[in-house]
Amino acid sequence: MKSIRVLLADDEPVILRGLKKLISWEKLGLTIVGEASDGIELKQQIEDCDPDLIISDISMPGYTGIDIIREIHEAGRAVKVIFISAYQEFTYARQALQYGALDYLVKPVNKNQLEQVVSKAVSLIRQETEGERNKEKLNHYEQRNRRLTIEELLDKLTDGNKGTADTLLDMGIIALSRYVSICLVETDESSGQPSRWEERERKLIDFALSNIIKETVEQSDNSYMFRKGERFCILLQHEYAEEPERIALDLHDKITSFLKLKVTLGVGNPVDGMDDADESYRQALKALNYKYFTGPNRVIPVKESRYESESLIQAPLHEIQSALGIAMKSQHKEQIEQECLRLFQTIRQTAGGNRNQAVSTVYNTFLQLEQELIQFGVEAGPSLQDTNPILERLANYSTFQEVEEDFRVLLNKMSGQIGSRMGSKELKQLSQVKTYIEEHYPENITLESMAGMMFMNSYYFSSFFKKHTGQNFKNYVTEVRMNHALRLLLQSDMMVYEIADSVGYNNARHFSDMFKKKYGKLPQEYKQSFKSQ
């Protein structure tokens, strides 16, 4: 078997000596045919020694490793390159991989690392002899599996392998069109839910779906269909920016009409060339995933998967959550529904298409309301005690609309418990007091002013309040203010003195002392420790 020719390069002689002694090159089937101590010498040695494999420092005088591999790539030489470096030069590494470097090792290189990557290189070089490459090209470009080759290349292209664009160009696949776009097609049965189709049924459906997509796509010049996992992927080369959405709508109509199938299509934005097809693919995938919020069985352009204007967000999330809590305590059904609508709209806008973030926000809102319900004097009933299954249930819904509906059911149960607890006159009075505190906590609320509002003397009101809450009035008002302060601290960019003023303290130092007494840390310390968790 022919020995593989190796060229070593490093500007440190000790490294060159170490590389030669580190592994048994001969046992691996390699012969060291040359050494270079800088980029200029390496460039000359490549011409003189005609190596199969180069192991080189990426940063040397004369020419860098990137300069060398770029020349190798542009010259079309069948040479494998392994780079080594004293530190992780990520820019170099990215460029090296772009031009086909086999691997990138960080010094100090140990024996196992070097043996592993050299063995990998030997295997690849053995497989890629000139005759084998010619045979592969012949099989790919001239025989019946040309279409499969195109599909494989397009699959790699959309994964970010830009080098495949050159091969596609050689094969005549790339057209002189203004735009390239990617469209993804997914049956709504295959989006993470258990399938009702048997294996044989699925194969027939896939075959029929594939045929309809091909027929529709082939009506558009220089456009191709290929598979990516369970999804069908369509590459469109076109002149008009609106064309992909038109084709997607036509395709959706045909699939639903002829196959009676529910499918969702995600459409990426047009990009300027085949090299950027992976960007359009990522956008199409984002649009497709957004069906969780929009609902399935439709065409979703990527522009619909984001809100263009921040002005659509009516209020910060913590304000809506607070308003919802007040509406729950006051048993105002219309206000509860209005705040629910605002909550869900804001979550859709701020989740960025992330279903886990959306579910987490809904669940945290539920926990917050439940805690407020307990503070209100209503212990959670059996339907609300075990919250873990609630999170699992919310996470398993296939659409955000189902999450919204379940959340409303939970609110109704909470509301019923509050209503039953508020049956007596005294509890209605207590509700009135707590609601007033929630709405006016930034103001100067005193025991005397509150007692006067309830037409009670101060002593009786103090006893009345402690009887039903287990707390004295001043501590309760402080706790409400601290709860709101904590929410502002963690969910806004307000300064400490601004938060203090917002919750009823005109002295920031006094506010900080009260905050530390409640939470064990000063506001900034608490925020910093929360971020580091």
Instruction: Say whether pTM exceeds 0.75.
Output: no
For a pLDDT cut of 70, what percent of the chain falls above it?
Answer: 86
pLDDT reported for residue 91 = 66
pLDDT reported for residue 260 = 87
Place of tokens 């001969």: 26
pLDDT reported for residue 309 = 40
- Share the mean pLDDT of the chain: 83
Residue 392 has pLDDT above 60, yes or no: yes
DSSP annotation of 494 = -
Structural domains of the chain, with CATH: 4-128 (3.40.50.2300), 144-305 (3.30.70.270)
Confidence tier at 193 by pLDDT (50, 70, 90): very low
pLDDT reported for residue 377 = 61
Q: Which residue has the higher pLDDT, 509 or 103?
A: 509
CA–CA distance, 324 with 487 (Å, rounded to integer): 15
Tell me the pLDDT tens digit for each residue of 452-477: 988 888 888 888 888 888 889 999 99
CA–CA distance, 470 with 451 (Å, rounded to integer): 17
Residue 135 has pLDDT above 70, yes or no: no
pLDDT reported for residue 445 = 92
Residue 186 has pLDDT above 60, yes or no: yes
CA–CA distance, 272 with 198 (Å, rounded to integer): 42
Crossing angle of helices 111-127 and 13-22, in 10° steps, is: 70
Region 245-255 average pLDDT: 92
Taking a C-beta distance cutoff of 8 angstroms, is the pair 78, 133 a contact? yes
Region 29-52 average pLDDT: 92
- Considering only 50-54, 101-105, 200-204, 237-241, which range has the smallest mean pLDDT? 200-204
Tell me the pLDDT tens digit for each residue of 485-528: 998 998 888 999 999 999 999 999 999 999 999 999 999 998 88
Within 10 Å of residue 424's Cβ, how many Cβ atoms?
Answer: 10
- Considering only 182-186, 260-264, 447-451, 468-472, which range has the smallest mean pLDDT? 468-472
Region 402-411 average pLDDT: 91
